[in-house]
Structure 1
Amino acid sequence: MRQSAILIRLAAIFLLLLAGTEIVLRQWVLTPSRQTFDPQLGFTYLGNQDILHTREGRARITLNSLGLNAPPLDTIHAAAQNRPTVLVLGDSYTEALQVPRETNFVSLAAQASGLNLVNAGRSGLGPLHYPEIFGQLRADIVPDALIICLTQGDIQDARRTPYRVVRTEGELAISGLSVTASANNRLRGHIEPLIHHSALATLIMRRAALVLGGWQWPWEDWPFFDTPEIRSPARRAGDDDVYSAIMFQLAALNSQIPTALLYIPTFRYAAGGVMIETAQSRRDRRAFETMAAELSLPLFQAGAAMRASYARDSFPLTGFDNATLGHGHLNERGHAAVAQTLAQAARAVADRP
């Protein structure tokens, strides 16, 4: 009996600690997860969520009903009555949760071009995912044209993305491609109800993702994840396989809607207004230049406008006072510079037949 009483007390103390931790986290640290699991894309934001971003910069943003950092659908549809609608796909640089919505490069380019630009950036996703995102959004947004924002790391991310290609028998050319969420995201997907209701569970999963995110898990093909036929061929394949997969996805989009590409380079900063493009950014830029030429896709480069901005005042275009200047995501100066090129790209692609 005495041993049972001790166990009951310990259990009660443990539950009180859990409850106290949950209350403290919700009050001062974070809320339960505001993301939902998608079998193809992994975790994306739920619609109509208020997001407070403080890790880089500080911005409070209300997502629309589609989970996009964009105006409500009624506003988008009203603007579409008298101007072309251009959907802008990209990664976290495009989603731009670090700055107020009105200062991100999609909003600024919309003002400069007079077009109805819709920000469909999604953090952590890349070119292999964009046909799936476009397919999910097309009926709601009804775009007239598409711009895909590309950044350093997109090709490396494609190597880590689980995907399956379909080839006609006896042919090397890809005839179909599908993506699936990573093994880590699929694991998180099985406990999605818990992280939706618990700030502590959300914190634990985020910390685990930071530590374990780069691991290659042996269970990726286990039937538990319902996708045993999906592998990550890019993990074992050469660059040609990855490039072919990206090109197939870009061509698939261009066959459905007028499409243009925009490359946003990554720089290191030096004194005297000098910017040096990183070696990885140069490699990725040249790869996308080759792909665009082979696909006859227009490719716009934001590098010149970014260099001109830094030459004027020697203030880095990435980083924030509460993080590290010169590293990380675009700050408001960076968004203003990229917006100049995006406005040009939007006007050009909107005029395509």
Structure 2
Amino acid sequence: MIRLAAIFLLLLAGTEIVLRQWVLTPSRQTFDPQLGFTYLGNQDILHTREGRARITLNSLGLNAPPLDTIHAAAQDRPTVLVLGDSYTEALQVPRETNFVSLAAQASGLNLVNAGRSGLGPLHYPEIFGQLRADIVPDALIICLTQGDIQDARRTPYRVVRTEGELSISGLSVTASTNSRLRGYIEPLIHHSALATLIMRRAALVLGGWQWPWEDWPFFDTPEIRSPGRRAGDDDVYSAIMFQLATLNSQIPTALLYIPTFRYAAGGVMIETAQSRRDRRAFETMAAELSLPLFQAGAAMRASYARDSFPLTGFDNATLGHGHLNERGHAAVAQTLAQAARAVADRP
């Protein structure tokens, strides 16, 4: 029995060493009551699920240069904060090849990547509030992608309405039940790559699962809107528009939509039906809010027409699916640079 236990421990130790060296690091995330799990500051991240990149996050947990570098660049050029989801955070490629870094070079502006995987428009005012004092941005760009509206339906949020009024006067988000439960094992996943891998695999299986206790009164209340279950599209759109308007009232803001394509022979790209629906919804929101909306689709189509190489996917995953590869980032960077110049010039 002792020998079996020793062999088991050696196998665990060996697995842990191999994972840390070639696959992934222990979780570098911490639990936030509003946002769920976000990265700790000053962490080295090894990402191999799609592509391969080792990235050092800055003190704010962002895939961006150190704060001293950001502040030094701000002395002679406007600072533009770029919010978005995992497409923007871009842990799949080296930092210098992601679209925020490339757009910063092309525009001559101080662009700061504040992308956060798994988050969306309902979370962005909270993220902006947490970062504003440290970054001190002059303008803001929000990168939108297919799935942002669907994610909003699954995001628990609380709306405040003035008595007798239908319009929203306040909105706050809270972490999902799954994230709150994962928070209990946070110390374990901080110290073990194996535990982190197991949790990530479990999250893939259970990510869409609605736990039976999510509707119990002490987990949720009628004021908490989990739109996939209790609110229609009008509620979701109103909530997203309220958050976008809130940000635009605090800082000059522009939107950038990154479409999702499927690929065909002969340099043909076909935007997915869901991407088209989301794009049209954001076009309507932008028009109603008088927000500039930039579209990355044309630059992405031009890139694929040149060499017929998909802009998403990696050799160690599936080409044509998943996150942007380096070609995709280069294409999106062209539109982001235009958006950055335009929003930085707004009064």
TM-score, length of structure 2 as denominator length: 0.94
Deviation string 1:192-216 (CA, Å, 9 cap, x unpaired) is 1121122332222112111111011
SS at match of 1:102: helix
Q: Cα gap change, 1:348/1:158 in structure 2, threshold over 3 Å: closer, same or farther? A: same
Whether the 8 Å CA contact 2:25–2:46 is kept in 1: the answer is no
Deviation at 1:173, TM superposition (A): 0.5
Moved more, 82-91 or 223-232: 223-232
Indicate the residue corresponding to 2:69 in structure 1.
75
Q: Distance in 2 between matches of 1:12 and 1:57?
A: 36
Whether contact under 8 Å (2:158, 2:224) holds in the other structure is yes
Q: Secondary structure at the match of 1:65?
A: coil
The answer (yes or no) to whether the contact 2:23–2:46 under 8 Å persists in 1 is no
CA contact (8 A) 1:221 1:228 kept: no
Looking at structure 1, the residues matched to 95 and 170 of structure 2 have their Cα atoms a distance apart, in angstroms, of 36
1:305 pairs with 2:305: no
Structure 1 residue runs without a partner (length 5+): 1-6
Q: CA deviation at 1:190?
A: 1.6
Does the Cα contact within 8 Å between 1:186 and 1:225 map onto a contact in 2?
no
Distance 1:273 1:196, change over 3 A: same
CA contact (8 A) 2:23 2:48 kept: no
Length, aligned pairs only: 347
Choose 135-144 or 20-29, whichever is displaced more.
Answer: 20-29
Which shows bigger deviation, 166-175 or 228-237? Answer: 228-237
**Relative to 1, partners in 2 of residues 1:29 and 1:93: Cα closer, same or farther, differing over 3 Å?**
closer
Max radius of gyration: which structure? Answer: 1
Specify the alignment match of 1:93 in structure 2: 87
Asked if 1 retains the 8 angstrom alpha-carbon contact of 2:92 and 2:323, the reply is: yes
The alpha carbon displacement at 1:24 in A equals: 5.1
Alignment deviations for residues 239-277 of structure 1 (CA, whole Å, 9 cap, x no partner)? 101000000000000000000000000111111111111
Q: Which moved more, 1:59-68 or 1:7-16?
A: 7-16
Question: CA offsets, 1:92-150, max 9 Å, x none?
Answer: 11011111111111111111111000000011100000000000000000000000000
Kept after mapping to 2: 8 A contact 1:41/1:125: yes
CA distance change for structure 1 residues 300 and 225 in 2, over 3 Å: closer, same or farther?
Answer: same
| Aligned residues: CA RMSD | 2.1
- More displaced stretch, 269-278 vs 242-251: 269-278
Q: Compare 62-71 and 11-20 and name the one that shifted more.
A: 11-20
In the superposition, relative to structure 1, how do residues 225 and 191 fare at CA in structure 2: closer, same or farther (>3 Å)?
farther
Specify whether residues 157 and 9 from structure 1 end up closer, same or farther in structure 2 by C-alpha distance, changes over 3 A only: same
Q: Which whole-Å CA distance do the structure 1 matches of 2:310 and 2:18 have between them? A: 36
Q: 1:55 to 1:40 in 2, by over 3 A?
A: same
Secondary structure at the counterpart of residue 68 of structure 1 = coil
Matches of 2:278 and 2:132 in 1, distance apart?
Answer: 28
Cα distance change, pair 226–304 in 1 and its aligned pair in 2 (3 A): closer
SS in 1 for 2:270: strand
Alignment deviations for residues 161-211 of structure 1 (CA, whole Å, 9 cap, x no partner)? 111111111111011111011110000012211211223322221121111
Aligned to 2:170: 176
Aligned-pair identity in percent equals 98
- Give the superposition deviation at 1:30: 3.2
For 1:257 and 1:141, the matched residues in 2 are separated by 13
| Deviating more after overlay: 316-325 vs 14-23 | 14-23
Which deviates further from its counterpart, 32-41 or 140-149?
32-41
Note closer, same or farther for the CA distance 1:119–1:27 as it changes in structure 2 (3 Å cut).
Answer: closer
Q: Separation in 2 of the partners of 1:281 and 1:70? A: 28
Query: C-alpha displacement at 1:31, in angstroms?
Result: 2.8
Q: 1:159 to 1:262 in 2, by over 3 A?
A: same
Closer/same/farther in 2, CA of residues 27 and 86 from structure 1, 3 Å limit = closer
In structure 1, C-alpha distance between the alignment counterparts of 2:225 and 2:185, rounded to whole Å: 23
Distance 1:166 1:202 in 2: 37
- Tell whether the 8 Å contact from 2:152 to 2:227 is kept in structure 1 after alignment: no
CA distance, structure 1, for counterparts of residue 173 and residue 62 of structure 2: 21
Task: Say whether the 8 Å CA contact 2:159–2:223 is kept in structure 1.
Answer: no
- The secondary structure found in structure 2 opposite 1:324 is coil
Distance apart, 1:324 and its partner CA? 1.2
1:300 is paired with a residue of what secondary structure?
Answer: strand
- Aligned partners of 1:19, 1:50: CA distance in 2, in Å? 21
Higher mean alpha-carbon deviation, 40-49 vs 257-266, is at 40-49
Mark the CA change 1:57 to 1:18 in structure 2 (over 3 Å): closer, same or farther: closer
Give the equivalent residue in structure 2 for 1:105.
Answer: 99
Do the aligned partners of 1:274 and 1:311 also contact (CA within 8 Å) in 2?
yes
TM-score (norm 1): 0.93
The alpha-carbon deviation at position 26 of structure 1 amounts to 3.9
Change (3 A) 1:272 1:11: closer
